[in-house]
Amino acid sequence: MKRAAPESIRRAMKMKVLVYGSGVIGCCLAHVLCTAENDVTLLARGPWKEQLQRNGLRIRHHLQRKTTLDHPRVIGGIEEEKAYDAVFAVMPYNKMPAILEPLAAIHAPIIVLVGNNMRPADMQQAILDHSVCEKQVLFGFQATAGKRDHEKGMLICERAGVGAMDIGCLHGEVDAPTRSKMTDMFGRTGYKFHWQPDMEAYLICHLAAVLPICYLAYTCNGDLTGSTGKQRRLMRMASREAYTMLKAQGIPILPEGDDQYYAPGIKGTVMQLLYFGMAKWKTAGDLIACEHCRNAFEEMEMLDEEFEKVLARRPEFPMSSWRELKAQMPGWDAIRKQYTKEGEAQ
């Protein structure tokens, strides 16, 4: 019988991966990477870092009704002498510019910027201009939601299946060796990569779907159970207008066919049912949308401002539902004031 390799050797065969950012998405990524038995380092700060170092990474997977515990190595800052096979940078859009130079200083051939991003070309160039080694910059979006439960010292995660990421280059296809390396990194966990041909277009299209949900969440004071059927229909119409406007500008709709979720038909009915579920069950609405809107209002304001620049390219294009929905929410000054106070109170 063939003897299994010692644990130290098996560990060395796995990849060294840094997850830069310990919010819900970063921690869920770290969990899957740990499950694949990689050498995982998680960068965190403040009391949350201390909690992770003391108790490990505990995640309550809401839909799966299970709790997991992992023990990635937790650090509070970049270790410039350390080399990694890949780095996943998972930060809010408004905070990503501040970490571009630290990312450039890391010895890693692959950097994946994960999350909303309306300036991917600028961020890629900033990393490459200051990099200490040759790097490939990819962009990804992982549809994971949830929140931190500080009292219990864990994350509550809302996800479908093991998880998945839409990922790709700024423009064009990712080469086969890089795809293979990324796939190997996640082993047999079941985590899936959906390779997109144009992540700049993808990230713009994503906001056509997300911002109307954001507008309604703020209109309902951070609680979608207070929304009406008319408002949810208006939300869907707003996204339909935005996708139509993007197509009129020659921006490819990615993922391909996503605009059909806001048009009449089976996909449209599925989206309307999702909206209904988010409004019917407060926990679902909070984990999927409202919790992020409350805690990341600065990011959402910046994304809204950037998307308005896209809308301004076709000022003659009808966006009546979009404007009507957005007009119902408080102004960004009021939103900043409200959620800053709530955050301080906590």
> Hey, where are the domains in the chain?
7-197, 201-345
φ/ψ of 52, rounded to 5, equals -65, -40
| pLDDT at res. 80 | 76
Confidence of residue 345 (pLDDT cuts 50, 70, 90): low
- Average pLDDT of the chain is 92
| pLDDT at res. 344 | 60
Rounded CA-CA distance 182/194 in Å is: 12
Q: Enter the pTM of the model.
A: 0.92
Which of 7-11, 14-18, 22-26 is predicted with the least confidence, judged by mean pLDDT?
A: 7-11
For residue range 58-109, list pLDDT tens digits in order.
Answer: 999 987 889 999 999 999 998 878 999 999 999 999 999 999 999 999 999 9
Percent residues over pLDDT 70 in the chain:
95
Q: What is the CATH number of domain 7-197?
A: 3.40.50.720
Average pLDDT over residues 27-56: 95
Measured in residues, the chain has a length of 346
Which of 2-16, 206-220, 297-311 is predicted with the least confidence, judged by mean pLDDT?
A: 2-16
Average pLDDT over residues 228-249: 96
Asked if the model's pLDDT at residue 148 lies above 90, the reply is: no
Confidence of residue 346 (pLDDT cuts 50, 70, 90): low
Confidence of residue 308 (pLDDT cuts 50, 70, 90): very high
| pLDDT at res. 26 | 95
Question: 3-state secondary structure string, the chain?
Answer: CCCCCCHHHHHHHCCEEEEECCCHHHHHHHHHHHHCCCEEEEECCHHHHHHHHHHCEEEEECCCCEEEEECCEEECCCCCCCECCEEEEECCCCCHHHHHHHHHCCECCEEEEECCCCCHHHHHHHHHHHCCCCCEEEEEEECCEEEEECCCCEEEEECCCCCEEEEECCCCCCCHHHHHHHHHHCCCCCCEEEECCCHHHHHHHHHHHHHHHHHHHHHCCCCHHHCCHHHHHHHHHHHHHHHHHHHHCCCCCCCCCHHHHHCCCHHHHHHHHHHHHHHHCHHHHHHHHHHHHHHCHHHHHHHHHHHHHHHCCCCCCCCHHHHHHHHHCCCHHHHHHHHHHHHHHC
